[in-house]
Amino acid sequence: MPVKYLSYIKITLKNNITIHYDIASELKVKKQEAIARFLKQTLEANYRKIKDVDMKFNIPALKKDMQSKTSLIMSKTFKK
């Protein structure tokens, strides 16, 4: 799933340190690929230390994109 649908990610480590990464604000400055690469590196580096991962998704944007893509495919499929 593309990073643009995430609002934030909160990683709680076993020593109760929380890493909060606000993706919505970072998308204004960085590209999706750079953010995804950073998240992957962070999760892989701290894999054994992670207790909990909380992700907040932008559901309205996801729903809007899914509906538009579905209607586009349906219109191409059932052309008259």
Residue 68: the pLDDT is: 86
Report the predicted TM-score, pTM, of the whole model to 2 decimal places.
0.70
What amino acid is encoded at 35 in this protein? I
- 5 Cβ contact partners less than 8 Å away, ≥ 6 residues apart: 57, 58, 61, 62
Structure-token pair, residue 78: 């059932």
- How many domains, in total, are found in the chain? 1
Lowest mean pLDDT among 18-22, 25-29, 69-73, 75-79: 75-79
C-alpha closest to that of 53 among 1, 14, 5, 3: 14
pLDDT band at 4 (very low <50, low <70, confident <90, very high): confident
pLDDT band at 73 (very low <50, low <70, confident <90, very high): confident
Residue 69: the pLDDT is: 86
The backbone torsions φ and ψ at residue 72, rounded to the nearest 5 degrees and listed phi first, read -65, -45
Note down the domain range covering 56: 3-77
Q: What is the pLDDT of residues 12-43, one digit of tens each?
A: 999 999 999 999 899 899 999 999 999 999 88
Instruction: State the CB neighbour count (10 A cutoff) for residue 23.
Output: 22
